[in-house]
Amino acid sequence: MRVQTKTIQSVNRALELLEAIAELGRPVRLKELSERCNLNMATCYHILNTLVKRGWIVINPLTKEYRLGLTVLRFSEAILNDLTINNRLRDYLSELAEKTGTTVNLVMFEEDQAILVDQVRSAQSRTHWIVESIGRKIPLHCTAVGKVYLASLSDEGAKTVLARVGMRRFTRRTITSIDDIILELERVRKMGYAVNNEEREEGVRCIAAPLNAQSGRIVAAISLSGSVYQFKEDDINLFTSELVRLTHELNTQLGVFFDSMYFGLR
């Protein structure tokens, strides 16, 4: 259970603006940001101006569009350098990518959010367009890693999280019914891994398995992603076998290490 604590409104608003610019992934004007974050233009302008002065964002003087500044990159590098899980797992991810010819992703969970922290593409991967930005939030209901996380919760816990984060439709295969996702999570618990069958992006399939601390708490997930041509039934069986074998091995070897990490999952 989360402890409710007092928050500072101006700080929340500044962070919402930073997150909006990051999620849009392109330069954006004041009006669009004010509407997206439900702020009046004056308040939005003053917060953005403060962030510009501190280097968190920059403004193009000709187009009046805002984008993230280099300060964000400096802090991102500091965070990634501090993520010892990346250093410990990188060789395993690279080996898995080469063995399967797929893109391998490492996702960590924090406060009901899935965050991509590493990605390795094999040299023979045919899906060079499946690239996510490190640090990007990954939806829970329509991705294999998200389903793995939700399956670690009780049904009521999963419903509470999904009610908060939403179940946006990305493709015609996206599960948007709470009853259907609960059935899907039951399958994930029984299989020990999750599948995303073109639910977030047309033509892309993905499988994921959890990394658990010795206490049983989920801390991260490893996934394999590729095109539907790579992920045919025989391929999925082979990839799943390799992925589950690796995650079981890592859970056994590094369970105590995972226990030392805190990501506020519950």
pLDDT the model gives residue 185: 97
Q: Where are the domains of the chain?
A: 9-70, 83-259
Which tokens go with 248?
């079981």
Note the pLDDT of residue 223. 96
Answer whether residue 266 shows pLDDT above 80: no
Rounded CA gap, 206 and 200, in Å? 10
pLDDT of residue 4: 56
- 75-125 pLDDT, tens digit per residue, is 776 666 555 566 678 889 999 999 998 999 999 887 788 988 888 887 766
pLDDT at 188 over 60: yes
Model pLDDT for residues 27-77, shown as the tens digit of each residue: 999 999 999 999 999 999 999 999 999 889 999 988 999 998 878 777 776
DSSP 8-state symbol, 61: T
For the domain spanning 83-259, the CATH number is: 3.30.450.40
- For the chain, the straight-line distance linking the first and the last C-alpha, in angstroms and rounded, comes to 6
* Angle, CA 204 vertex, CA 237 and CA 213 arms, to 5°: 60
Element (H, E) at 103: strand 103-110
The pLDDT tens digits for 189-205 are 999 999 999 999 999 99
Q: What percent of the chain has pLDDT over 70?
A: 85
Q: In which band, very low, low, confident or very high, does the pLDDT at 265 lie, cut at 50, 70 and 90?
A: very low
The residue behind tokens 């395993």 is 92
Q: Does domain 9-70 have CATH number 1.20.120.80?
A: no
Residue 3 CB coordination number (10 Å): 4
Residues 6+ apart with CB under 8 A from 127: 102, 103, 204, 225, 226, 227, 230
Task: Write the pLDDT tens digit of every residue in 152-169.
Answer: 999 999 999 999 999 999
Name the nearest CA neighbour of 239 among 254, 226, 252.
226
> Rounded CA gap, 202 and 142, in Å?
12
